[in-house]
Amino acid sequence: MKSFINNIKADRWTFRGFNISLILTFLTIIFILFNYKNLPPLIPIFNQLPWGTQRLTQTSGIFIPVAVFGIIFLINIIFSSFVYLKNPLIARIVSAITFIIAILNFLFIARTIFVVL
């Protein structure tokens, strides 16, 4: 595990991208926890489904996007660590994509919470 992190720490931009993504994820979780008590019992998370109760989930479902991003984050950081020795550019691209997904995840959560409040 230490070699994974050392590979990513070798490149300043890759390391910053993953760190900022992780910080943004923690801010998303804090934002959810701060507003959790004010959320209604059912919230719309699955917006691609047809209109009706299929779009709704219980309040605890607000953590689904964060959990999915956590899995994506772990996969990307492991992939980036393996690829960095062969091609640092791909590791930087993966880091940038992870950062963009973290921003979009935060915006999705914020929009959903502001719509239902």
| Predicted confidence (pLDDT) per residue in 39-91, tens digit | 999 999 888 888 888 889 999 999 999 999 999 999 999 999 888 888 889 99
Encoded tokens for 114: 């502001």
Domain boundaries, the chain: 2-116
8-17 pLDDT, tens digit per residue, is 788 888 899 9
Rounded to two decimals, the pTM is: 0.89
